[in-house]
Structures are given as C-alpha cells and as structure tokens.
Amino acid sequence: MKVVIVGGVAGGATAAARLRRLDESAEIIILERSGYVSYANCGLPYYVGHVIEDAAQLTLQTPEQFRARFGIDVRVHHEVTALHPQRKSVSVRNLESGAVYEESYDKLLLSPGAKAVQPPLPGADDPRVFTLRTVEDTLRIRQYLDTQHPRRALIIGGGFIGLEAAENLMHAGVQTTLVQLDNQLMPPLDYDMATALHAYLREKGLQLYLQESAVSVFSSAAGLTVQLKSGKAVETDLLLVAVGVAPDTKLAKEAGLTLGIKDSIVVDEHMQTSVPDIYAVGDAVQVRQFVTGQSALISLAGPANKQGRIAADNLCGIPSVFRGTQGASVLKLFDMTVASTGINEKTAAAAGLSYDKVVTFSPSHATYYPGATNMTIKTLFEPETGRILGAQITGFEGVDKRIDDLSIAIRAHMTAADLAELELSYAPPYSSAKDPVNMAGFVIENVRSGLVKQCHWDAYAQLPRDGSVQFLDVRTAEEVTQAPMPEGTIHIPLDVLREHLHQLRTDKPVYVNCYSGLRSYLACRILSQHGFICYNLSGGSRFYQQIMDEQHFDAAPRHACGIDLSR
C-alpha cells in the first residue's frame, strides 16, 4: 500500500507514524510545503516571547528523524498543486528546484490544516505586518524583535493566537495594544466569564479596544499608523493580524470533494471524504460537535492528532471511529488560566437546546493550606436531566485539573448528580474534601430540586427599583463598606438574619446577594422556610460587580491610552 499524505504537521504527522506502526511494508510519503514537519503550532508564540529560546524545540521530529525512525519519505518544500482522484495521483511542485511532477497513491490523506485569515486591510503589505501560523512566521517575528527592537505592537484579534502573542510580546518588553471586533475576548467563553479576563489583562498593561476593527494601515519610516473604524488612530512598530483561521481546502474544492462549513472538507466518522480512497483530518475538516451533534469547525491540536490516528487505523483496515469533539481548551495568560469545554450559552441557544447554568466560586485547594487561589466556574446543564453540557473556568491554580474533570464528565454523558458523587483525590495542598467539581454538582442539584431559585446577573440588573421587590445583602458590614450594592439594598449579615426577619416583607420577593453566592444560598434556605419567596444572585456580588464594572468601562469615553475621561 502506497499512502501519500498532504501536510505534515499535527494530523498528517500523527497519521504517518501510526501507519508505520501498523504496517511495516507500507510506502508512506509526506508532502509538506513549508520547511518543517511535526511542529507545535501551540508553542509558536512562546518562541516570540523568548520563553522558548531554541527554535529547534518547536519541532517534535525533523524530516531526517522521521526517515530514520519510521522509514517515511518526508519531502519538505514540496507543494501539492492539484489532486487527480480519477487517476489516483497528485501534482507536486518542488519549491526549491521548481520541478513539477506527479505522485501516484493507493490511499491519499489530506491534512492541509488552516490558513490565517487575511482581512481586506489597505496597507497591510508592509513588511512590519505579520501573521503567526507557521514556524517561518514565528522566525520572522522573532528576528524582527531581535534586530529592530520595536517599542509598540498592535494585535488584531482576541482569540488564542492573539492573546498568547500579546502575553509574549509584553513579556519581551513591547508595549502592546489589542483590537477585537466582538465585545469580548476568547470566543469560547461567554461574555460574563470573559469580563474577568478583560480586567486582568488591563491590569497587566494590555490596552484593549473591544467592539472595534482596523480599516487601514499607513506606513512611514517612523512606524505604522492603524486607522480604526471608530476614527481612532493607533501608532505601532509591529502589526500582528490574528483574526482567525479558515480551512485550507482549495485543492479539495478543485478536485470536487464535498465541502461543508466555510468550505471545510466533509468526512464520515472514519475520516473518509466523499471520494473513495481519500481521507482528511485536522483543521481542514468539518467535525461533529459532541454535545449538540451538529456540524462544526473546531481547530485544536488534540482532535487533529486523534483524527490522524483514526484515519491511519481505517487505512489499515481497523474500523476506528471519531465521535466528535467538545472543544476542550486551556489558555495561560501571565498567571491566569482560562479554560472551557463543551458548549457555551451562545452555542446552546443557537442549537435550540434547553439549558440552565450555575456560577460557583471555589478555592483551588483547602483554604487553611497556604496559597489557595479562587476559581470562577460556570457550568451549563440540561434542566430536565442534569446532564452537563459545558463548563468555563477562570482562575490561577487548579483550573486545568477541573476543566479536565468536567470534560470527562461531558464525554461520559454524566449528570450533576454524578458530579456530586465523583470521588476525586484530596489532600490540602491540592484540593478540598468537597472538590470544586463536586460543588458544581451540588449547586446544580439544589437548583434542579427547587431548594434554591437563582437570579442571574443580567436579570438582576433589570429588576425594578420601585419597591416592588426587596434586595437583601447578607455580607458583613466591612464587606459592604468596601463594595456597596445599589441604593435600596437592605443589609442584614447572615449570622443575625433570623433575629431580623421582621425587616423583610413576605408579600414581596427577596433577591439575596453575598460575595460568592454561598451565604446568600444559606440565607435563601432560611427565608424560604419562613414563608419568603427568595432568589439567590448567581455567582455572588463579586461576579455581578465584575460584569457591571466592565460595562461601565466600555461605556466611558477614553482617549488612546484608555484613560477614563468621564471622571
């Protein structure tokens, strides 16, 4: 069997190695147009910021190592220019010599990946405008930093690459500004969860322009001037365009393969395309979203590697199946960790799913052991069954551990009751006897059983202040002084609530808040058993105030350095 693989990064390289392990006699050829195979896309920004110093560390295998260890013919700087399914061959151009030839195959595996989206931006052909997708891109940016020593950088795009690049440019001492079209960074998060990220990055010195876009670039010897849609002009020495990626499927389209979302390649559960003997994997293929069952585009290294292995199995007669991806991801930003898995509210609403959510605030480990930090965990669930649909976490320590637990729960179709019962490892330096994942399960079950009613931040902000409802704050006096709630809120600390029930009326609903949502839950249990209709502010006052602060920040007039001019 002769297998030709187009693209030698995550999916293609994994498939090639798996093929060799399964079939020692197979002839395997990798055709890669760049100069590198089996490299770590996710590590590229860290070379820019000098966190990874040696460029060789970015590649897991060199072409020579692939040949020596696996007996695979790896041809870098070889671009496939056309597919010929009828005669089972591909046209290839050697980018070093210019020679053109045809390579035949018995089986063809497409792993072309995705290409950086280039928005129509006049002036973006300046050599100081970069993208960050390949090793070559990374080397160009690093060389520019090391030789030209830019003082200012502007990034367009607030997804994974844009944010990782921002952190690393700032780590390299470059004053950095980021422009994002949406009202939030990190699209896998919901807006309410992203607000913590916004505040933290501003605190670190990142200048943010949200709900903004670049319209043109003007060049001069002194630098670049990027004109924004709002009329603002940003001066910079380096511009990085990181607005996302699109499936690189020009060859598949020209060859007549069935295409799906954004011209991605449609494959079945065995990773086979619509054309016999042609398989496809990685960022170029349309996948099944595991939670919704709907078609989706999810560009992540983990699924790409799994798809490569599954395709190789099927090429060798092993009927492996890819059952979809839930988009589990984690991102480091300075000391903060941001993670998500499954679906968020936007996706759930678009899919027409019935869902509810809880927001919990948990320490990373036992608070009596030094060094505990807090995590905000938002968990989406199906109200009828309690099935876990998605989770988002922001925090500093232990975030990756909890998102993996919740990711496994989603994959196993677990419910909130299952989360509550999970037996997770515990020692004071690592967790609490009731782990944050257990706590999410407890809270969801309290909501589903009717032990407590919730009021989420957006509904809370719209409640009338005309006396028709009651607002109760059960924090301590010191807490209220430091962070007061809106005027008209009644303050009764939780520990003296029973003695002051007469201050509340049973004929009006009571909306209760505390710092994290725990004491207000306890207050609701007291009140509901004394005849009150009670609602707990989900996530507590600190979550609510975080979102309100973000909305006030967005509404305030600012000059180019982000200073509030309304004060």
Contact, 7 vs 113, CB < 8 A?
A: yes
Helix 10-22 and helix 301-315, axial crossing angle in degrees, nearest 10? 30
Its sign, for the CA torsion 486, 473, 459, 483, is positive
Would you give the distance in Å from CA 305 to the centre of its chain? Answer: 18
Contact, 343 vs 292, CB < 8 A?
A: yes
Give the integer Cα–Cα distance in Å for 308 and 295.
19
Q: What stretch of H or E contains 317?
A: none
Contact, 241 vs 124, CB < 8 A?
A: yes
Residue (of 220, 218, 217, 238) closest to 128 by Cα position: 238
Give the integer Cα–Cα distance in Å for 390 and 388.
6
Per-residue DSSP letter, 122: T
Contact, 391 vs 340, CB < 8 A?
A: yes
Quickly count: other Cβ atoms within 10 Å of residue 371's Cβ. Answer: 11
Contact, 168 vs 156, CB < 8 A?
A: no
Give the integer Cα–Cα distance in Å for 93 and 100.
4
Contact, 176 vs 206, CB < 8 A?
A: yes
Question: Three-state SS for 153?
Answer: strand
Contact, 258 vs 274, CB < 8 A?
A: yes
What are the C-alpha distances in Å from 313 to residues 143, 288, 306, 320?
A: 41, 19, 11, 6
Contact, 399 vs 338, CB < 8 A?
A: yes
- Rounded to 5 degrees, φ, ψ at 169 are -65, -40
Annotated active-site residue 42? The verdict is yes
Q: How would you class 298 by CB atoms within 10 Å of its CB: exposed for 0-12, middle for 13-18, buried for 19 or more?
A: buried
Q: Do you know the residue count of the chain?
A: 567
137 Cβ neighbours under 8 A, 6+ residues apart = 44, 130, 131
Active site residues: 42
